[in-house]
Structure formats: C-alpha cells, structure tokens
Structure 1
C-alpha cells in the first residue's frame, strides 16, 4: 500500500488556468505530485457546468490503474454523468465491436511457435512472449499484417535490429551478418501469425488499436460518425504513447477540443517504443497549434527532494524546461549511505525499517517503499525482511520464495532420480512447471494431466501438446544434467540455467563475465551464496532451505500493512513517506545494458528521477563504498547527493612542466625519444 496525499485546498493558479482554458488544443505539463488527475477532473466538471453533455467527453488512459484514479476522483468531486473513460486498448476494441461487427474482435492470447530458425532460437533464449512482442512492435509502427510493404518492413527491421532483439541474442547474432535474414524471417512469420489468429477468429492485444485505426482510416463516413460523438478528448500520460496510439487519437479527436497531459521527464517506457516527442512537439504530431500550461506546484515532494531531483533531470537535453515549486510544508530529508555489499546493505534497510516503525506510532509498513532498477536486486532485501519477520508485498513472479520453492521441488525430484526405483515412481510435474521454455498452457492449465506418468509417457504427452522438438530435447537434457550433478552446487547450477532459464549466456560469454557486467538476474546466485557453507552436506543445505521457506510462509501469513518492494518502473504513479533506493551503482543506474547510441542514457536518468520523486518525506539512497568492487552511479553526483571525487593529482614532474609552459605561453616541449638499443647482428 502506498500513501496518498490528501487534497483539501482549492485549485492553485496554474491548475485554475487549465480548468478554465478555452483553447481547442491544450498541452498540460504535469510533473510528479502536481495534482494532474484532480485538475483534469475539475476541468471535466467545469465543462459539464458550461453545458457540454457528459457523454460527449472522452478520457483515454494508458492503463486501468489510471482509469480507476479518474473514476474515483470524479466521484469524490461529485462530477456526475456518463463521462466515457477508457484505456486506449479498450477504446479501440469498442470501435471494432460497435462500428465493424463483421470484423473478428475476440481478444486473447495463444501460444505461437515460430517456424523460422532465427526466431525459434530467439524464443528459446528468451521466452514464448518475445515473438508476439515483436509482432506488437511492428503493429505499433503501423505495419498491418494484412497489407504492408515487404521492402519497407524489412528495411525498418534491419535499422532497428539492435533495439528489437535482446542483448544476449545480439551478441550471438550481430547486426552485420544477421539483420537481413532476421528481417526476412520476421516478415514471413508476421504473415503466418496473422493466419494463425484468423484461423482461431482472434485478435491480439495490439490488434485492438491497429484494426480500429486502419478501419477508421479506410472508412471516412464511420470516422466522421465517431468524431461527431465527442466535444472534448482528454489523453492522460501522453509521454507514454507510441506512433499507433498517436494516429488513433488524432483520427478520433480531429474535430474536438484535445487536451494532452503528461510529463516528458517521466517518459520511461522507451523499451515499449513509446516516445515523449509527441508531448514535447505536439504541433508537429497533430498539425495544430497547442497552448501549453504547466502545473508548477508539487504537492508530494518536499523542497529538499524536489531540488535534488530537479538538478538530476536538468542534465537531460531533450526535454521541456519546467519550474516546479514544492507545496509541502516540511523540508524533507535525504540520506546517502555507502555499503560494502548488497547483503550488508539489505540488513541495514531491514533494521532501519523495524526501528522507524517502532519509533513512530503513525508510521506503518505500508508507508515504506524499497525501489530498485531490476527485480533481482530486491532478493537480498527479501531475505533480511523475512529474517526479521517484516511483512512485504512484491509482484508474484518476482517473489523470492516462489523461485526457491521451485528449487526445493526440483531438488526433491533430483533425489528421486538418483534412487534406483526413482524413475518409475517420480512425479515430473515440478520439472514441467519450472521449465521456462514450455508455454503457460502446459505449465499451468494442463499440469495435472502429467500426474502418475513415467518419463516416456510424459514426453509423448508433451509431443501431442505441439511442443517444439528442440524444447523437448532441452527438457530431456535438463533432467539428465540434474540427475548427473554430483554436488548441490552443480544441482543449483543445472536448475538455474536448464530449468528456470537464468544465466544462459550468449556465445563466447561465461558466467563470470555476466557477474562482472552485472547482468546476472537470478535469485539462485543469492541462494548459492547463502548455502555456500553447506555445499559439502547436501541434506543440511536442503534442510536449511526448507526452514527458510517455512519462515517466509509465516511472514506472508501476517495480516496488515506491508512494505512495498518494487522496481523503478512499477513505482511510477505511486508514493511513500519513506523510500529506500538501495545499491545505486554504476551497474544498476544506468542499467549495464543501456545503449547510449539510442538515447537511452537520458531514459535511464528519467527513470532514476521517477524513483527519487516517489518519496513524500524521507529518501534514503544507498551506494557502493570505496571498498566495494562496484562504483557509485553517476546519477548520484548529477543530483548533487554526493560531491564528485576529485581527479588524481598530476605527477610532480608533469605538473612542473605544465606550469613552466603556461608561464612561457608555449606548449610544453616534447620529451626526447628514448634511444633504441643497438641491433646485434646474428652470427653466421
């Protein structure tokens, strides 16, 4: 649970300007904590009071969370009437079902296995959803699988290849020799995927917007009818839209008052191909002149936190300059603490949380958030919170105990495989459920179908489930590796790479390389460290793991508020009284996979800005100490949280030489070349 700031005052000067604006094209720059949702809700109320029917106002949001926030705010302000509030996807689906009933509109997701070799490798090295994600990227750039230029699609894919594929895949299949065949294979698979959906009378998530836009664009009369319904269109989080979103919004709002709102400094979804350029330069995107307003007062962040976050984001060049002021009475506080390692820091975080809640009766666990760049960086925090009995909330698929429970079940399976009678009596469901490369339909919906089957029957059933042959071979090999492992360390390594899919390295890379570059995203790396002293005693290590999982179950069973554990991305739109940003190193902020040539350094800086501005009272930032192998993030220096370390002094000889040359006004003389040793002729 994150805290919310109560709003009891009337609209301030900047908010009132937005509420009363008579312009037809309005851009509202709304930084974090500026009361954007309430301002827009009040504008809706003012428009209704001025005679605009509620049904003629359309609010489009990025997700259901924002949609719910608008609904609650309108209700709290007693703004009554059937104002239409939809996500962009839901709006596109509504157009399909109402205006084009002959079009297929059953939205859903189904496992799709590629035929092309490069794409099959991509799916095996990532997951089954990566290919559908690529198809969605093509659709978000207005490539229609029913009607597109093959030449244009292939050219675009070749240019965008380094951004389309994961870093590990790119290392194995570099752009120079693989971009062209990849683009050709993706083009062919794109057409097959459309046939796959058509045979099932389905559309996917991105089709909801693409099909509605394409059909409106091809049917001007229908488009005119849709536009005639709305007098005002309000679009929230405009910095997060992609090219397809922009086209759909433009075709619907062409005759209406258009209000776009957002904060380009919080544009953090570039990996989804969202672009803040639509918000930064809306005149070019829509072909109409926009009047710009800024909500200057920040009602969330106290002055100290606001000033430091402003200093950080000021290093970005491609942004709209802003002048926010704090509307919070208290100055707030920032603590910057160095630690020797992640586990040590996590222990200090757990201790600080326990002491803070004990010292302040008005502070609950739900008022505290711990935010990291990657989910894996929360593992150490989970361990120490469980050890102290502090309840916490985390996304289900990143719950440490979920991974470690799967490990325990696979270790039990390994025990059975090692026994002489194990093969006949083994339950293979834990292996199937944990195998990353099997589709969800197999691992969840059909898992009970494998109860009581021996290995031969399991493999036959999987073949009937249309699992690719290569995945079946990988599954058999994984079981063999698990059975043949001689130590618990080797078992954990097999589980990590062969089942859970962590630590799979590109060609030419070793596991040690991954650790050095900070790309190890496995909770088992931490588990190996915790069980390191017991690797020689397999039974003792497994027993300790059981004890930890039992303790975690007790902590999870506690009722009441919980500390929120989240990534920077997932924390957007939320706030807490106390925010911890652990281990802000040069290997986490910016992310080591950040590609500067694509402008992603500015995106990483925006992401850290979002993390800093989640704090409503106290911000605690951790970083590697001088004794650590890692180094402090440059963002900490850019924000003025620490003074930049001074460069090492020049050597005395060099310093004196430079001083002499400066006083003489000439360049320093070149040092004479060291004489080469005389060449000794060979003896005949």
Structure 2
C-alpha cells in the first residue's frame, strides 16, 4: 500500500501522530478525538513505509472488544498480520509457548474467577465471608498482586496507600496467603500470576527474552492511563533496552486507580523519555458543542493528577445539538418512569434503541430501569450480564455454522446465515415474551454481523461506495445477493465462521439491538447518540465511600467518562427520595455545581413535568395514576377493563402482519400496552390517537390511518408500495 494514501483523511494532529514513526511517542488523546484512528494509521503507515514488519508489531489494549476493533481497522488498512491483543492474551500466548522449555510438565489451569479458591482459603483460615465479602476479598487480592504487594507486606501496604480494607487487614493477609498456597498446590494460574510469570521468564531466561524481543520490535499501548505496575513490569520486559514505544491515553479518563492503575506512567512519560514526541489530540468528532462544553466544564473543576497538568480541553467539531437537560424527581420510580418515557419518545422520533444508553454508578441501580423499560415495551440489554458467546442459543448457532462450513463453506455469505439460524428461533419478526425475545435478539445480532461482514469485505471493490450496506437493525431483513452497485457480495460462509471463531476467542461480541443499561465503568470506550446519566446524588456519585480528595477526583473523572459517551442527546437526573412518599433528603451531586441551572426550582424540571409528568387519573375510579402502564391506558390495573376484545385482536393481527412485512419486532410497531390503550379509548380521529402514550409523531404518520380504520371497523388501507407492486 502507498504510505501516503494511508495518511489521507487525518486531521493535523492525527497526521503528526501517524508520521511519528519512531518511538518514544506519547499521544494525549481526549474523548472522541479519534485516537484509535490515529494509532492504527500510524501502524499501517509504519508497515507501508518499511519501518516495521507486520509480524513485528505488538499493539496492546485493555479489552478484547478494543483489540478486535483495532484488528479490523488494521485489516482494512492493509496490515492484517499485526498482533493486536490484550496484556493477558499476549502473555498467555508467550507463556504457553515457552512452558515446556522453561518449566516442563503439565501447564497450569487458567482460572477466570478467584471466588472458589478465595472461598476455600477463607474457610481454611476460619474467616467468615458471604459471597459479597468473597468478591471484595478477591478484588483486594487482585489489587495486591498488580501492585506487587506480597501477603506478608499487605498490612503495611494498605496503610501506606490509605486504602480501606474490606475486613481487618490481618485477616485479608491470611486469606491472601492461603489463596496463593492453594493456587500453587493445584497448579492454578490467575491473570495476575500469568503476567508475573511471563515477566519473570523474560528476566531470568535471556535466550527466551532475546527470541521474544526479536519477534516484537514495535510496540503500541492503548489506554496507557490504565496501566498498573504489574503490566508496566511486563511491558518493560518486552522492551528491554529499546524505546520504540508509542503510548496513547487520556489522564481525564483515569477511573481504575482503586484496582491498582496509575496515570503516572502516562503523565510522566516525557520525563522518563526526554526525547519523546508528544502529540495532543483535541478535536472532538463524537459530541456536539453542547455536550463538549459540559465535559470541559467538568474537567476544569478537577485537580491535576499524576504529576503535571495534562488535562485536555476538547474542541467540538460537530454541528450544534440540543442543550443537555438537568431534571430533579421526587423519587427513584418517578425518575425511572420518566426516563423510559423520554426514551420511548426518542425511539418514536427515529433514534434506534441501540443508540441509547442509561448509565449509572452502581449495578444495583439497573433494576428500576429494567422494569421501567419493560413496562414501556422497550427492548434493552444489560452490559455486564451473561457474555454474548456464553449464551446457549449462541453456542448452538456457532456449532450449527461450523457444521455447515464442513459441508462446503464456499457458498456466498449473503442469504446463507438466516436460514441456518431459523430452526434455532430466528423468525422473521421477534416473538412475544421476554425470554423468547431475548433469544431472538441474540440470533438476530449474529445474522446482522454476517451481513455487516459481507458488506465490509465488499466495500473495497464497491462500484458505488456509500450506496450499499446491510440493514440498519438486527432482524431488518436479509441482505440481497447483490450490492446496489450491481456486483455480488463475495464473502463466503468460510469467511464468516473464521471471523466468528476469532471473535469467540477474544469475546468480541456484535452489537445488540435495544437500549443499553450499564454502569459508568462498563461504559468506558463506548458511545451512543443519546445518554441518560441517572441517580446523580451525593452518596452515589461521588460514591459514599469516596472519602479522600483523590477518591473524589476519581469519581469526578467517572462522571466525565459518562458525559463524553453522548454524541448528541445528554440527560442528567436525580431523585430526592428512594421511594414514593419517602423523605426527600437527598442532594444533587456536587459535580453538577456550576453546570445545572442556578435556580433551585429548576425551570427545566418544571417544563419536563408539565410535558411528561402531568397528573393522570383513572377514568374508572378517579384515583391518581403513577405506574407507567396504568397511565398509558388511563386506568388502574385492578379496575375493570372496558375495551372491545375483538378490536384488540384485530389490532394485534394487523401489528403482526405489519411487523413481518417490515422485518422488525412486533413491539417496534406498537407495544401491547399501547394497543390495549387504543382498544380501550377507541380514538375517532388523529387528535385523540396522538394523545395516547406510545403514539408519537412518526408512528402517527406511519400507522395512524390504519389504526383509525380498525377502530372504525373498517379494513386498514394497503401500503402504497404494496398496492403498486400488486397492481402493477
């Protein structure tokens, strides 16, 4: 590939980074500034220029998802053989390869979770611990190991670090020592020991170190602010006395100090390498100026960390968008219901559900939003729940696809995967029922991935770039055999299974349809069109146990991470009480000071309540309604329903046909609750229909005529495109 072509489309700062082909290089990259683009183009430029051979590059990142994305971009840039791995994946590969030579005998068993071993160690030490305490102990052992603290030194180390132990430090040290003894006796290997053994192997066996350093000569480390001392020890072992190292990171997104990470390696990089090239990426391509302003204001109020002020002031590159909203609610259920209504309005106006996220500080906050979204008939996925490739239906699907490949595998990918997945539950439209729908959504995401890969492989030779493409949403219908450019998609089932196996190995899951619910920590590295930051109260953000200045500042950076996940729509909210009727003693988070309107009455909140939170009374008994589903039908759940059952059945049958015709889940057309409200209220005109919750402007225009016809006892009109097709 022409080295100059690799550099096309980069902004001046990205170009400066990509042209700095020799290390040491430090790229300080703010949120949304295109850091992955900069470093992948830098690697591809180095390969195309002959500075580095593909096989000699090791790009290290922190998540399998990020590593998978990096490999995909490098493949598209003509450097498919570059190794992009996590620290753990790279270490495991090296340790496994050299184990027979260094140690001999059976290799150790890698453990994904420490809990069982920690539980055994606690019992042996006479330490009582429930599951929550065991998790805390496992986390404390991980912190000790990544910061190179031994059991005998734990008590003094935790005191020096100002760290609050989950129980008496002497007991933690005993359990830690017992854990290590059991691990060694059973020949078990945890992730920290894997890094430690790899680093020790390179330090103690010069001939092996020479082979590894001959293999890898060109290093790139992403998210360098999250590196911990153990990872830095391994990185130094890989480097030896060389400095061909490029690091990229953002001190403002340092949110893992509690787990042993330190931004000092990033902020003091120029001091460690006085001849280093330092590049700052400040152009934010992700978020609107309104969101960027909030992000900058959050960081302006933070304290510099890690030696020197390396804060990055972002410069927005996108057009203006809506102003962020700040809303106060009486209680948590009211907050969750209102957020669900806002999300429904966004979906009705055309925002895909997968481009919306609800972010919170603790996982325990998820339940209220799961319930509120379920009540509103909105699909959602909880990030951090069962891993995609561990789901039973996905295991079955992968097995089926592998079997189909053995029978040939050379057939075109377009049009092949959906029929293979149909017997597993991939119907044309999503079924009713939550369990069946979740299974369908997983299979639909896999089918969508096949279409995406077919389009991606075709893009380089497309005669009409920009016109072709896979359906916009999972389940939106099969990809046609030919691109609009007139050429067939050439990717095969073999190609897909090969990609799938790589993704299974690296846990690089495809995107799921539905609103994302995630903790702020789990959201790092992701982005959405619309983000709802919820539960922003003192004691939750910052969390109640953030006591020192450093801990509070880390909570502020966590808030910054949440803000910068939003591309366009940003909503921030909090509740004064936990439950309806409870004491309204909570205070908004201190991090909102200077951001939200100064008036304690919060005019924006009053406007929101007048628009979406007005008093709704039961049309049967007259009681005030608070539940979202009850408000939708204007009736208490236990009051007698007075709807036409035959009309409801006609509405559901029409919805089923419409969903199948459009290739979307039935609830995307209208939810059950909305159809029941229509059947109960029997609107006779557009004005009455538009007042029913769940019938937004887009749905009114798309389906209003048909719904009103059904309510009048008439046949719904045939869509124009169908009439044209049938009538010629």
Range class of TM-score, shorter chain: 0.5 to 0.7
Match of 2:130 among 121, 124, 131: 124
The residue that corresponds to 1:50 in the other structure is 49
Whole-angstrom CA distance in 2 between matches of 1:396 and 1:255 = 38
Q: What is the aligned partner in structure 2 of residue 37 from structure 1?
A: 36
| Preserved CA contact (<8 Å) 1:303 1:332 | no
CA separation of 1:377/1:182 partners in 2, compared to 1, >3 Å: closer, same or farther?
Answer: same
Choose which of 131, 138, 141 in structure 2 pairs with 1:135.
141
Deviation at 1:309, TM superposition (A): 0.9
Gaps of 5+ in 2: 1-5, 388-431, 442-473, 475-512, 578-582, 602-728
Native 8 Å contact 1:58 1:233 kept in 2: yes
The answer to whether the Cα contact below 8 Å between 2:289 and 2:321 also exists between their aligned partners in 1 is yes
Query: Does 2:314 align with 1:314?
Result: no
| Match in the other structure for 2:622 | none
1:488-512 residue CA offsets vs partner (Å, 9 max, x unmatched): xxxxxxxxxxxxxxxxxxxxxxxxx
Measure the CA separation in 2 of the matches of 1:220 and 1:645. 67
Separation of aligned partners in 1, 2:555 and 2:42: 33
Partner of 2:235: 249
CA distance in 2 between partners of 1:115 and 1:199 (Å): 12
* In structure 1, C-alpha distance between the alignment counterparts of 2:154 and 2:365, rounded to whole Å: 38
User: What corresponds to 1:107 in structure 2?
Assistant: 110
Aligned to 1:156: 157
SS in 2 for 1:234: strand
C-alpha contact 2:530 2:568 (8 A) present in aligned 1 = yes
Number of residue pairs the alignment of both structures matches: 464
Report what 1:620 is aligned to: 571
Q: Which moved more, 1:580-589 or 1:64-73?
A: 580-589
What residue is the counterpart of 1:357 in the other structure? 347
Q: Name which of 634, 637, 641 aligns with 2:596.
A: 641
**Residue 175 (structure 1) aligns with:** none
CA contact (8 A) 1:55 1:81 kept: no
The match for 2:9 is 10
Determine if the alignment matches structure 1 residue 98 to structure 2 residue 100.
no
Distance 1:369 1:134, change over 3 A: same
SS in 1 for 2:129: helix
Q: What does the per-residue CA deviation read over 1:548-586, in whole Å, with 9 as the maximum and x for residues that have no partner?
A: xx9754764675531111111111111111111123111
Q: Which structure 1 segments of 5+ residues have no match?
A: 1-6, 170-177, 400-549, 647-684
Q: Give the whole-Å Cα distance in 1 for the aligned partners of 2:537 and 2:181.
A: 47
Match of residue 192, structure 2, among 186, 197, 206: 206
User: Judging changes above 3 Å, is the alpha-carbon distance between structure 1 residues 194 and 303 closer, same or farther for their aligned structure 2 residues?
Assistant: same
Summarize the Cα distance change of 1:371–1:81 in structure 2 as closer, same or farther, 3 Å threshold: closer
Task: Output the TM-score relative to the length of structure 2.
Answer: 0.59
In the TM superposition, residue 158 of structure 1 has moved relative to its aligned partner by 4.3
Shift of 1:611: 0.4
Name which of 180, 191, 198 aligns with 1:194: 180
| Equivalent residue number for residue 660 of structure 1 | none
Tell me, yes or no, if structure 1 residue 382 matches structure 2 residue 370. Answer: yes
Match of 1:278 in 2: 265
Asked if 1 retains the 8 angstrom alpha-carbon contact of 2:68 and 2:84, the reply is no
* Residues 386 and 551, structure 1, Cα contact 8 Å, conserved in 2: no
What is the aligned partner in structure 2 of residue 73 from structure 1? 73
Is 1:563 the equivalent of 2:515? Answer: yes
Deviations 1:146-205 (A, max 9, x none): xxxx4x454324434743x23xx4xxxxxxxx44x336525xx52x43342233322112
What is the aligned partner in structure 1 of residue 221 from structure 2? 235
Q: When the two structures are superposed, what TM-score results if normalisation uses the length of structure 1?
A: 0.63
Secondary structure of residue in 2 paired with 1:371: strand
Residue 289 of structure 2: aligned partner: 303
Q: Distance in 2 between matches of 1:298 and 1:82?
A: 30
SS at match of 2:130: helix
Cα 1:610–1:54 change in 2 (3 A) is same
Deviation at 1:138, TM superposition (A): 2.4
For the 8 Å contact 2:67–2:85, the answer to whether it is kept is: yes
